[in-house]
Each structure stands twice: as structure tokens, then as C-alpha cells.
């Protein structure tokens, strides 16, 4: 019998794993047992996978739901001992005895696969014991542990969605049964079982054998339901007695029982839980131990589970939580902190300002304006200071401004862009930033989604940041009130930022990213802070008119949908739409989901192509117009007092290195639709400037792919001066350029861009609306003509699988551990990322270099024109009167010369009074 159980990880450095001690004084120790698979599966269906998915495509809904239930149950039940049992496979002693056991169960959804393994990683970080025993189900492990624990004087709580566990219930064993998703648990005691079924827990297996269990594919007796089964057990006392006296059971039901008696006997054997499974640990070994809190944080960060409530609930039930709270807020820090008043900052900087200082702030930023309310500085030697900028006197302010602007005074920040942006509102410019710990963390691990200071501190320094009053002799700031405690916390943050800067200095060298930070990311951060403050002028009247237009289109679509259905219904209700489409109208069924047949955009598009019914087309238009209305509504709300829209750029969201924008998101405005173009006309030239200029790269990803693959045919297609897609299509289809029709060109364009984005043959078939075999043949033919591309794509995946990462031309890495995963879905997703990361990442690096070069050139030429936006591969500038020609020449030169490629960069430029008119 093979058996696996989780090994406990060591406690964090400087801490000892602290086991919970069984209660004394007559109070019984309490063991909590959880059925891992049962609860994870419930969580999977309780939460929509599309709302819980990482950037790499890994669903996390089962993990999130399980972790939430786990945190709540540990909190509410306060067990002294804890373990989780998992199934190994469907092959158990039950399936060997009855080959049809659970054979009716559908295939495990792909989205669920791999999540149990990740739940195990979370449990390991929590130092929780988990069991999985070959040949047995989790139920049998739980039954064994419950039996042993009860005999040893424990109180036992079992959390499971399997009612067969009711047979374990006794005065000291309670089952907590999920009755609403994973959020509500019903306590089943002997009294509750008797109230619901009219039976004792010991009689439950007899009852279950008669009732049958469709979920396990155990057949029941025709005509015999739960009431009859309970009546027979009560009448005869037990299943064994009922079988012995089977002839006494009257009527048709009795005859059916006798006809199926052998099947019912089998049910009874399979329903009985095994209580003596051989396990490597005793119940005494299950005492709860302190978490590896750093490990818990890393698992949640990796899975991009950022909900602070869940993290707090999980950490609050750590048996070592009290010990962690009592520990110094930042272990190993010895700060000599001071809360500075007027006239005290200038001398403090004179004494400490030449050394590297960590800087932390409390600030606000909204609609293009903001302010700083608190600043803290910290030095490596232990000195730290906190001050309120509003309380500075003239000498202090001058000293602080001079220190900030001095490139020779090194500074370490976390999210330097935000600090530079808001400091500028006070008239302060910042130079000499040697480290941004958020950007450094991004370069070290670009797949992560949390760059919060507390998460970075825990992972890289082994410290927990807690806003607590100073420990004796550690943070002696001479402050007792609430404001003093906040000052203490901010000074600890400043010191933590400083120490993280040191830690990341070594990490960046390890991943060959130190130059990326210094030469690209930090300068880009400085430039983006400028762009965010500039914003872009908006035509409020135009955008408000657009909003009304889209709102009217939405209402018109609602009327048309009601007319097509023959009655009113809620277009936003998937259930009502399903009833109309597939029930009333009888349209072809789409993909089946747990909640019915899907009505997503792909399904509606498929229905529109399959039928002549107008409702799917109306629904698609309704959703498109509703989305556009929301987009424009968001733009109108984002117009600041200065009449401009100030988006916020994110450098650490896209793992490839691309920039993204939020509040508002300017990347989700359609480019190729009439509506999108109309929205762009709402972005206009501002007062004091004469026009907007747009400049972007033509086919930059394909040019990068040609460069990296060194494919001579593809490079020649770029350098020939002919239309790229027509030239490539002529080679793939073996015709003259003049013989390439629009459909050929469309297929090749989709193919070329698809390869740059890791598109599979199946994905290409879906995109082009052709059979998978045709798509595969098209790919094969393409690769015959462009063998260098084929070889490159193979090589990049093989290299990444060997090294664990891909790399751009400039050395930006993306780590892909799932390339060697046993989970096919995760492995294939990682392979697609390995294909596109070097191409997209290199393109992103080129755009950043181009932005920096253009800004530098504008400054050196002493031009007033300025850069406003960066969206995808496009740069938008605001042109001052009389500077158009000079700016256009400068932009073309700097963008085309950003890097040297075998397929040279090509830049398109346009000018106009608004964003759309400036298109080219």
C-alpha cells in the first residue's frame, strides 16, 4: 500500500514551529478533519473560474473557495489538531469490488485540474498535515483518524460534503456539512441526524444502502425512497435483520427489494467506511503548528490571490500569530527615530543626507492632482526621521528640495513613479533614485501581481510589517499617541525599503537585470510620472453626447430583443436568456456548463452564424453598445478640473514588460471600429498647443520575430518595400503577388500575428472560422516556406524548458516553471507564453527606449512640445505652435533608431486636432 503525507516545512528563520498543546483541566482536545477533494470541488462550482484566474491562465477558484472555508472554520472551531485528507485516484478497493463505482461521474473539468496540488502547497506552508493513501478514499482516512481520536479522548469535527460520513457521528464526533456552496455549514450531531432521517448515525449506512447513491453510481431499489428506507430500518432494527427477514416486507416495494437484494448488499459493503487504514501519523502528531508565514504569502502571491480579507483571516488563525505579533515589527532593525518639527529637517539632512536613504510617504492622488501628508526617511546606520511637509519652515523646505533634486544623493523608494508624481505638486523634483523596490521585484519575478511593501518584506527580508508601537529599546521615538504610532510605522517602512534595496541589488545581478532597471525602467518611471501629470485634453460635450448615443443604442437593442422574443425579459440574466434562446426559440444548444448552456459572446456569434434568428445578433449589439457606454461614462467621470484626463500607467502588471493604463484604461478603446474612432475624437489638443501628433511602429512584433528567427525569407519580405502580408501570402500559396486575394491575405496576416502571440492550430482555426486540419496545413505550409521561424519557435521553447525562463533582446526574463508541469493545461499555457514573451517583451522594450529617446531629444532641442500618452505601440504628443516639422523629424529619427533590427523599424506619423484625426 503506497501512502503519501505532507512533510512539514521548517519555521521561518529565527522562529520555532510552535505546536498547539491539547487543552487541560478536563477540556477535551479538538481535532478538525477536512475532506480536501470534496470541499475543493464544491468551491470550484461555487465560484466562477473566469473571475479567479492568474495571468498565466491558471484557475484559482477552487483554491480561493477552499482557503476561505478553511480560514472561517479554523476561526470558528478553534481546533487544537488539524489534518486534511485527499483522494489519490478513482481506483480504490471500492472500484475493484464494483467496477461501475462512480463510473457515471463526468470527466474532471480541465479548469479544476492542478488546483488540488496547489491547495496542497498552501497547506504545506500552513504546516498542516495532509494525507493521501493509495487504494482508499479520503473518507476512509477521515474515518480512521476520527475513530482513533475519539478513543483517545478528542472531540472530532469533520468537514465534508459526503453524507456517508454521517455514520461516524457520535456524542464526540460532529459533521459540518456544507449546505450553501462553501459559505454555510450545518452541524450534524446524533440529534440532527435523527431529526432529519429518523435514524441513529449507526443506522445511516443501512439506510444509505437501501436508498442508493446516484453520485457514486450505486443503484437504489425501484419505488423505494428515503422515507421507505428509513421505515424499514426502524421496523427491523438493522440492515442485516431486514435481509434476514426479507420475506416479511409486503407489497411491490418488498418484491423489488428481494429482486435487488444482492445489489443492496453490495451497496452496504461499499457504503461502510474503513476505520483502520494504516497511516504514518497518529492523531497526537496532528497538533497545529505555527505557519511558515513567508511561505503562505508566497503561495498566495504566486496564485495572485490579493484579497486582503482572505489573507488576514488565514493569518489570524495561525497558531503562531500571537508570537508573530509580539515579535519586533521589523526583526533586526535598530532605529534611532525622530519626529521632526519645524527647523529640524535641515540639520537632520545635513548629518545623514549624504548616505543612501530609504524614503516612504503617505500621499493622495486623484484626477490629476494630489498631496503628500507624511514623509519618512531612514539610513542604514539606524537614523530615521518623520515629518509633516505642511510643518516645514523655509530652511527645511529648501534643504529637502535640494536633497531630492540632487542626483548625487542616492535614494531608494517603493513605487517611485507615484512619489515623483505627487512631489511635483509641491514643486519638488526627484533625482538620484538608485533603486525602486517594486520595479526590482517585478524584474526579478515578473509573474507576481503583488508589489505591496509588506509582501516584499516578508518574502525577501523575512520580516512582517505591523503598524504597532515600538518594542522596548527598539523604536524609541518618544511618541505615545496614535499619530506617533503612525510615524513609527512609516519610519519602519522607510527602513524596510532601504533594506529591500540592498537585497534586490544582489537579486538583480543574479537575473542579469541591473542594467534594465537603471537604463530603462527607472527612467521610464520618471517619464511616466510626467505624462500622468500632463494628461490629455478632453472634449466633455463630445464625450457626453457619445454616452447618450450609446445609452440610446442600448435601449433600442432591448426593445428589439423583446420584440424578437415576443415578450420582455432581463437581457442581463443568463438564466432568462437561456430560457428564451434554447427553450422558447429552440435554437441549437451551445456548450453545456453547470448553470446551463453558455450565452457568452463566442456562443452568441456561433448562434448568429448557425441560424437566421435575429436575437443572437441583437444580443451581441446590446453587449457591445453597453460596453462602449460604460467606457465613455468612465472617461467623462475622469475629466479633471483642468479639463484633461490623467490616466495612470502601470509598469508591473504585464509580465512581458508592456505598459498598461488604468483610471481610465485608454487601451480598451477600440481602434478599428467607427465607435472607437468617434470616442478618440473626444481627446483633443489642449490650450496653448496647435495639434496632436501620433507616431507608432508598423508591425513591430513581426519585425522582432524576423530579427530573432533570422529567417531570410521573412526579412526579405520586410525589406522588399511591398505589402508584407501580400508578399508572404504569395510565397505560402505559391502564386504571384497579383494573384493574392483578400482571403489569402487575411489568413496569412492572422497566421503571422498568431505565431508572434503563441497561437496554436486550433486557435488559428477558431480565429479564421476554418477546420483545425486546414489551419494545421496552413501552418505546415507557412513553416515550409519560412523554416527559420519554425526552428526559432521550437528552439525558444526548448531553451526555456531547460533554463526555466525566456529572454528578450535586452535581457528581460520571464520565468515559466510550468513548462515542466505534469498538468497539461498549465504546461501548454506556459509553452504559448514561451513563444510570445521574447517577441512581445522585446517590442515593449523598444517602445520604452523610443519614448526615452524622444523625450531626451525634445529636451535637448529645447522644444515646448511634449509627450502625453503611450498606448500599445503608439506615442501621442502635443505640438506647440511652429514646432510640427521639427518634432516629426525628431520622432521619426529617434523611434526608428531605438534599436537595430534585421527587419528595420518603420514609423508612421500623423497630425490633427484630435487623437482620431491625428491617426495615419
Q: Is residue 39 within 8 Å of 66, Cβ to Cβ? A: yes
Cα gap 262→642, rounded to integer Å: 83
User: Per the structure, how many domains does the chain have?
Assistant: 4
CATH code (residue 28): 3.40.50.1010
Tell whether 343 is covered by a domain: yes
Instruction: Tell me what pLDDT residue 214 has.
Output: 55
Decide if 654 contacts 881 (C-beta within 8 A): no
Cell 504597532, located at residue: 468
Residues 340 and 192 in one domain: no
| Predicted confidence (pLDDT) per residue in 299-317, tens digit | 888 787 877 788 888 988 9
CATH number at residue 500: 3.30.420.10
Adjacent-strand bridge partners of 876: 694, 869
Q: Do 619 and 745 sit in the same domain of this protein?
A: no
Rg, C-alpha atoms of the chain:
33
| Among candidate residues 563, 629, 569, the one with its CA nearest the CA of residue 599 | 569
Among 492, 489, 476, residue whose Cα is nearest residue 338: 476
In a domain, 527, yes or no: no
Cell numbers that stand for 243 in this block: 435481509
Residue 852 lies in a domain: no
Dump pLDDT digits (tens) for 230-258. Answer: 667 767 766 666 666 766 777 666 666 67
d(CA 666, CA 648): 10
Output the furthest CA–CA distance in the chain (Å, rounded).
Answer: 107
- CA quadruple 710, 711, 712, 716: dihedral positive or negative? negative
Are 600 and 503 contained in the same domain?
no
Domain boundary among 834, 856, 872: 834
Residues 69 and 193 in one domain: yes
Which regions of the chain are under pLDDT 50? 1-25, 327-331, 467-482
**Is the same domain home to 110 and 183?**
yes
End position of a domain, from candidates 619, 645, 671: 645
Omega of the bond leading into 657 within 30 degrees of 0 (cis) = no
The reported pTM is 0.72
Same domain, 372 and 290: no
Residue 105 lies in a domain: yes
SS3 393: coil
42 shares its domain with 166 = yes
Is residue 462, in this structure, part of any structural domain at all?
Answer: yes
d(C-alpha 769, C-alpha 747), whole Å:
10
Cα separation values, 865 from 370, 420, 644, 667, 876, Å: 25, 21, 17, 23, 11
* Of 16, 85, 503, 496, nearest in space to 292 by CA: 16
Query: 290 and 405: one domain?
Result: no
In terms of Cα–Cα distance, which of 175, 38, 169 is closest to 102?
A: 38
Of 263, 287, 302, the last residue of a domain is 302
Q: Does residue 732 lie within any of the structural domains?
A: yes
Residue 384 sits in the same domain as residue 468: yes
Cα–Cα distance for residue pair 544/535, rounded to 1 Å: 19
Q: Are residues 353 and 457 in the same domain?
A: yes
Residue 370: partners with Cβ closer than 8 Å, 6 or more residues away: 363, 364, 421, 422, 425
**Does 7 fall in a domain?**
yes
Closest CA to 215 of 109, 102, 136: 102
Residues 366 and 435 in one domain: yes
Domain annotation covers residue 690 = no
Question: 590 phi and psi, to 5 degrees?
Answer: -95, -165
- Answer positive or negative: Cα dihedral of 654, 659, 665, 666: negative
Three-class SS string for 690-752? CEEEEEEECCHHHHHHHHHHCCHHHHHHHHCCCCHHHHHHHHHHCCCHHHCCHHHHHHHHHHH
Both 409 and 555 in a single domain? no
**Structural domain boundaries enclosing 621:** 544-645
Q: CATH number of the domain that 595 lies in?
A: 1.20.1060.10
What are the residues whose beta carbons fall under 8 Å from the beta carbon of 580, sequence distance 6 or more?
565, 569, 615
CATH of the domain at 809: 1.10.150.20
SS3 763: helix
Strand order across the 383-387 sheet: 336-339, 383-387, 369-379, 357-366, 411-413, 433-436
Amino acid at each position: 500500500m503506497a501512502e503519501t503525507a505532507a512533510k512539514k516545512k521548517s519555521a521561518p528563520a529565527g522562529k520555532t514551529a510552535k505546536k498547539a498543546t491539547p487543552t487541560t483541566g478536563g477540556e477535551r482536545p479538538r481535532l478538525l478533519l477536512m475532506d480536501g477533494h470534496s470541499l475543493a470541488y464544491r468551491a470550484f462550482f461555487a465560484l466562477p473560474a473566469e473571475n479567479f484566474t492568474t495571468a498565466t491562465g491558471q484557475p484559482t477558484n477552487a483554491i480561493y473557495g477552499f482557503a476561505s472555508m478553511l480560514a472561517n472554520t479554523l476561526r470558528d472551531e478553534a481546533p487544537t489538531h488539524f489534518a486534511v485528507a485527499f483522494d489519490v485516484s478513482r481506483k480504490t478497493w471500492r472500484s475493484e469490488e464494483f467496477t461501475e463505482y462512480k463510473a457515471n461521474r463526468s470527466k474532471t473539468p480541465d479548469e479544476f485540474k492542478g488546483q488540488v496540488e496547489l491547495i496542497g502547497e498552501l497547506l504545506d506552508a500552513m504546516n498542516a498535515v495532509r494525507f493521501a493513501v493509495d487504494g482508499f478514499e479520503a473518507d476512509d482516512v477521515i474515518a480512521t483518524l476520527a475513530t482513533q481520536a475519539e478513543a483517545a479522548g478528542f472531540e472530532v469535527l469533520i468537514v465534508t460534503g459526503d453524507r456517508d460520513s454521517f455514520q461516524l457521528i457520535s456524542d464526540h464526533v460532529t459533521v459540518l456539512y456544507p449546505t450553501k456552496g462553501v459559505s454555510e455549514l450545518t452541524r450534524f450531531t446524533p440529534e440532527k441526524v435523527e431529526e432529519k432521517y429518523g435514524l441513529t448515525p449507526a443506522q445511516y449506512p443501512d439506510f444509505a444502502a437501501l436508498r442508493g447513491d446516484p453520485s457514486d453510481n450505486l443503484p437504489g431499489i425501484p419505488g423505494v425512497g428515503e422515507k421507505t428506507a428509513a421505515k424499514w430500518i426502524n421496523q427491523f432494527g438493522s440492515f442485516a435483520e431486514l435481509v434476514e427477514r426479507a420475506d416479511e416486507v409486503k407489497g411491490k416495494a418488498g418484491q423489488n427489494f428481494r429482486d435487488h437484494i444482492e445489489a443492496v448488499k453490495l451497496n452496504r459493503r461499499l457504503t461502510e467506511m474503513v476505520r483502520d487504514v494504516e497511516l504514518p501519523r497518529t492523531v497526537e502528531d496532528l497538533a497545529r503548528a505555527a505557519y511558515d508565514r513567508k511561505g503562505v504569502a508566497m503561495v498566495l502571491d504566486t496564485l495572485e490571490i490579493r484579497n486582503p480579507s482572505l489573507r488576514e483571516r488565514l493569518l489570524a488563525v495561525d497558531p503562531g500569530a500571537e508570537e508573530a505579533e509580539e515579535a519586533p515589527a521589523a526583526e533586526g532593525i535598530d532605529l534611532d527615530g525622530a519626529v521632526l518639527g519645524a527647523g529640524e529637517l535641515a540639520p537632520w539632512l545635513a548629518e545623514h543626507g549624504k548616505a543612501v536613504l530609504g524614503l516612504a510617504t503617505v500621499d493622495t492622488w486623484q484626477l490629476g492632482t494630489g498631496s503628500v501628508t507624511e514623509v519618512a526617511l531612514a539610513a542604514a546606520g539606524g537614523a530615521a526621521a518623520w515629518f509633516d511637509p505642511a510643518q516645514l519652515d523655509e530652511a527645511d523646505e529648501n534643504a529637502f528640495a535640494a536633497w531630492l533634486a540632487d542626483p548625487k544623493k542616492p535614494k531608494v523608494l517603493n513605487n517611485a513613479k507615484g512619489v515623483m508624481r505627487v512631489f511635483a505638486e509641491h514643486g519638488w523634483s526627484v533625482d538620484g533614485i538608485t533603486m525602486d523596490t517594486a520595479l526590482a521585484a517585478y524584474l526579478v519575478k515578473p509573474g507576481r501581481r503583488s508589489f505591496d511593501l509588506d509582501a516584499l518584506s516578508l518574502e525577501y527580508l523575512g520580516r512582517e510589517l505591523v503598524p504597532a508601537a515600538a518594542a522596548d529599546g527598539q523604536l524609541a521615538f518618544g511618541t505615545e499617541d496614535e499619530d506617533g504610532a503612525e510615524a513609527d510605522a512609516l519610519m519602519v517602512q522607510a527602513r524596510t525599503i532601504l533594506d529591500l534595496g540592498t537585497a534586490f541589488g544582489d537579486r538583480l545581478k543574479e537575473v542579469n537585470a541591473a542594467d534594465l532597471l537603471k537604463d530603462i525602467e527607472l527612467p521610464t518611471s520618471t517619464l511616466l510620472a510626467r505624462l500622468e501629470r500632463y494628461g490629455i485634453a478632453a472634449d466633455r460635450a463630445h464625450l457626453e453626447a457619445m454616452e447618450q448615443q450609446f445609452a440610446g443604442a442600448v435601449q433600442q437593442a432591448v426593445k428589439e430583443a423583446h420584440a424578437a422574443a415576443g415578450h420582455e425579459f432581463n437581457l442581463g440574466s443568463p438564466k432568462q436568456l437561456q430560457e428564451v434562446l434554447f427553450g422558447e426559440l429552440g435554437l441549437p444548444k451551445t456548450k453545456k456548463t453547470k448553470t446551463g448552456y453558455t450565452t457568452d459572446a463566442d456562443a452568441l456569434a456561433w448562434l448568429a452564424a448557425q441560424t437566421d434568428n435575429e436575437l443572437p445578433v441583437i444580443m451581441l449589439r446590446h453587449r457591445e453598445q453597453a460596453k462602449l457606454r460604460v467606457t465613455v461614462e468612465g472617461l467623462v467621470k475622469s475629466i479633471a478640473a483642468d479639463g484633461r484626463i490623467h490616466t495612470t500607467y502601470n509598469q508591473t502588471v504585464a509580465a512581458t514588460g508592456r505598459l498598461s493604463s488604468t483610471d481610465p484604461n485608454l487601451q480598451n478603446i477600440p481602434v478599428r471600429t467607427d465607435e472607437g474612432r468617434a470616442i478618440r475624437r473626444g481627446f483633443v489638443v489642449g490650450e496653448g498647443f496647435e495639434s496632436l501628433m501620433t507616431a507608432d511602429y508598423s508591425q513591430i512584433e513581426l519585425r522582432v520575430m524576423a530579427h530573432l528567427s533570422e529567417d531570410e525569407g521573412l526579412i526579405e519580405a520586410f525589406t522588399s518595400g511591398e505589402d508584407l502580408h501580400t508578399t508572404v501570402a504569395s510565397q505560402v500559396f505559391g502564386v504571384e503577388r497579383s494573384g493574392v486575394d483578400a482571403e489569402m491575405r487575411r489568413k496569412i496576416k492572422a497566421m503571422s500575428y498568431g505565431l508572434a502571440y503563441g497561437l496554436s492550430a486550433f486557435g488559428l482555426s477558431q480565429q479564421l472560422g476554418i477546420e483545425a486540419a486546414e489551419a494545421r496545413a496552413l501552418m505546415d505550409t507557412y513553416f515550409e516556406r519560412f523554416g527559420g521561424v519554425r526552428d526559432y519557435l521550437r528552439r525558444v521553447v526548448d531553451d526555456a524548458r531547460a533554463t526555466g525562463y525566456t529572454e528578450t533582446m535586452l535581457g528581460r526574463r520571464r520565468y515559466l516553471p510550468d513548462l515542466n508541469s505534469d498538468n497539461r493545461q498549465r504546461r501548454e499555457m506556459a509553452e504559448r507564453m514561451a513563444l510570445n514573451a521574447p517577441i512581445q517583451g522585446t517590442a515593449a522594450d523598444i517602445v520604452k527606449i523610443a519614448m526615452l529617446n524622444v523625450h531626451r531629444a525634445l529636451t535637448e532641442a529645447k522644444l515646448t512640445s511634449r509627450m502625453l500618452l503611450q498606448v500599445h505601440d503608439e506615442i501621442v504628443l502635443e505640438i506647440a505652435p511652429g514646432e510640427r516639422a521639427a518634432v516629426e523629424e525628431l520622432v521619426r529619427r529617434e523611434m526608428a533608431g531605438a534599436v537595430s533590427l534585421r527587419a528595420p523599424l518603420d514609423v508612421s506619423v500623423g497630425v490633427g486636432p484630435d487623437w482620431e484625426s491625428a491617426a495615419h
